[in-house]
Structure 1
Amino acid sequence: MNQESKLSFRNTGRISGLLYLVVVITGIFSLGYVPSKLIVWNDAAATFTNIVNSEFLFRLGIVSGLICYTFFLFLPLVLYKLLQPVHKTFAIYMVVLAIVSVPISFINMQNKFAVLSIINSGGQEKDLVMFYLNQYDYGNLIVQVFWGLWLFPLGYLIFKSGIIPKFFGILLMLGCVSYLINFFGNALFSNYSELGISSYVRLPASLGEIGTCLWLLIMGAKNSVISAD
């Protein structure tokens, strides 16, 4: 790999890191911060009041989510360019599993727009607002399957490639398992969220994704790629 190719490869790594950073920041804001400020799951009246009083924050959450999903559409394509020399089949799996989640996420966002429609119509259907928020939450539960599955081929490719530390690859593969555990836990047990273990189970995915994102952004991708084909 000549000097120009090495520079291009490293810059591609930094571009993927930048895309990943946008996904991480907007995802945390839309999926974590905004709901924590506005939604009280066992109190429809309080939730309704919070959204009415902080409608702009609710709208920011929607826009942030759509930005997140848009950047997530391009992220695996850039990562494919980096990782396909390692194992082309696994790289294709990574892209497909990631991209499948995007239309589901966009369609699911209609539930939040439905909440806005109710509020802006002057209605007081607090229970209906809660219904749509629950539908949105269930939609996110479904899409988490793909948010988890794409991490396994990504983690495997990173582990085999040598472009960033193998430790992040291990965390990402464990992250796949953690997403699936949370999905099946929520799907099978009505009180799973009350156990308070979800955030701990999700920790490998969070550390792996944030760590991968920051390493690629700051350090870029190492020049050597080990083929596993």
Structure 2
Amino acid sequence: MMVNTEQKQLIKTARITGVWYLIMAISGILGFIVFHFQIFVSGNPEQTLTNLVELESTARIRLLLEFAIVISQALTAVWFFKLFKGDYEWEAWTLGIWGIVNALAIMISAISIASAMGIANSDISAIQDKVLLIQVFQNIISNAWGIGGLFFGLWLFPMGYMVIKSKRMPVWLGRVIILGGIGYLVSTVIRYAGIDLSFNSFLTLPATIGEFWMIGYLLIFGIRPIKDW
């Protein structure tokens, strides 16, 4: 009876983790892929300034989605810690801490978006001053996400390790997640080393596959009892 109760609680924890992870994924796709480039035009701070003024409501949606990413990332890390801390305390702490660092990196981006919006709608009369400040914040946003790729990759290592070690989820899920972590690290290093490789964007593909696989598994199955493996 105690085993069944503990397993039910673990499944509940796993599914809550999956919900937060799903919210993080959806808000990330909407915020960074769908809405971001409607406002922030790479290499064109003048157009970005115009967008921040003329599309203010869209810019605010972009900012609120960044808030959603920060909150859901932090809560996903906390619930992953809760899920695995019983058997893998050190690894769970590592995943939790690195996941929080992810959230902090995105929070820097959120602060910069809010600052850019404030500058765009401020009383500063010199347009060139506004453009210069917008460019600075635009670069901070880009690099918060870019350099944040180091920890986007790092937090996948303990996640994949615990999946493989516990055997309470598919072993290949853990392997794909670890491969995704390697891809994020390599992709980030290549980008900031100034190396232009056509396949660089594909290095993070295993991470995307692994994370959505993880979300689906958490939501549908939760976590398997040890005896089933």
Same fold (TM over 0.5): yes
Q: Which is bigger in relative contact order (C-alpha 8 A, separation at least 6)?
A: 1
Q: Which residue of 1 aligns with 2:77?
A: 76
| 1:9 and 2:3 aligned | no
Q: Give the distance between the partners of 1:181 and 1:114, measured in 2 at CA.
A: 31
Amino acid at match of 2:221: M
Q: Which residue of 2 aligns with 1:153?
A: 158
Amino acid at match of 1:214: G
Amino acid at match of 1:161: S
**CA separation of 1:39/1:105 partners in 2, compared to 1, >3 Å: closer, same or farther?**
closer
**How far did 1:88 drift?**
2.3
- DSSP-derived class of the 1:32 partner: helix
Q: Decide which of 204, 214, 217 is 1:215's aligned counterpart.
A: 217
**CA separation of 1:51/1:198 partners in 2, compared to 1, >3 Å: closer, same or farther?**
farther
Q: Give the distance between the partners of 2:200 and 2:70, measured in 1 at CA.
A: 22
Q: Decide which of 192, 205, 208 is 1:206's aligned counterpart.
A: 208
Amino acid at match of 2:89: K
- Give unmatched runs, 5+ long, in structure 1: none
TM-score, normalization by structure 1: 0.88
- Give unmatched runs, 5+ long, in structure 2: none
**How far did 1:196 drift?**
4.4
Q: Decide which of 139, 144, 149 is 2:149's aligned counterpart.
A: 144
Q: Which residue of 2 aligns with 1:20?
A: 21
Is the Cα contact below 8 Å between 1:161 and 1:225 reproduced in 2?
no
| 1:44 and 2:49 aligned | no
**How far did 1:199 drift?**
2.8
**How far did 1:111 drift?**
1.3
Farther off after superposition, 132-141 or 104-113: 104-113
Is the Cα contact below 8 Å between 2:176 and 2:206 reproduced in 1?
yes
Q: Which residue of 1 aligns with 2:90?
A: 89
**CA separation of 1:128/1:225 partners in 2, compared to 1, >3 Å: closer, same or farther?**
farther
Aligned pairs, number: 223
**CA separation of 1:207/1:139 partners in 2, compared to 1, >3 Å: closer, same or farther?**
same
Amino acid at match of 1:53: E
Is the Cα contact below 8 Å between 2:95 and 2:159 reproduced in 1?
yes
Is the Cα contact below 8 Å between 2:177 and 2:206 reproduced in 1?
yes
CA RMSD of aligned residues (A): 2.1
**How far did 1:6 drift?**
2.1
**How far did 1:225 drift?**
7.7
Is the Cα contact below 8 Å between 1:26 and 1:68 reproduced in 2?
yes
Q: Give the distance between the partners of 2:44 and 2:107, measured in 1 at CA.
A: 27
Q: Give the distance between the partners of 2:44 and 2:109, measured in 1 at CA.
A: 22
- DSSP-derived class of the 1:2 partner: helix
Q: Give the distance between the partners of 2:52 and 2:200, measured in 1 at CA.
A: 25
What is the percentage of aligned positions where both structures have the same residue? 26
Is the Cα contact below 8 Å between 1:158 and 1:169 reproduced in 2?
yes
1:191-216 deviations in Å (ceiling 9; x for gaps):
63xx4434311101111111101210
**CA separation of 1:39/1:108 partners in 2, compared to 1, >3 Å: closer, same or farther?**
closer
Is the Cα contact below 8 Å between 1:86 and 1:160 reproduced in 2?
no
Q: Give the distance between the partners of 1:37 and 1:222, measured in 2 at CA.
A: 43
Q: Which residue of 2 aligns with 1:61?
A: 62
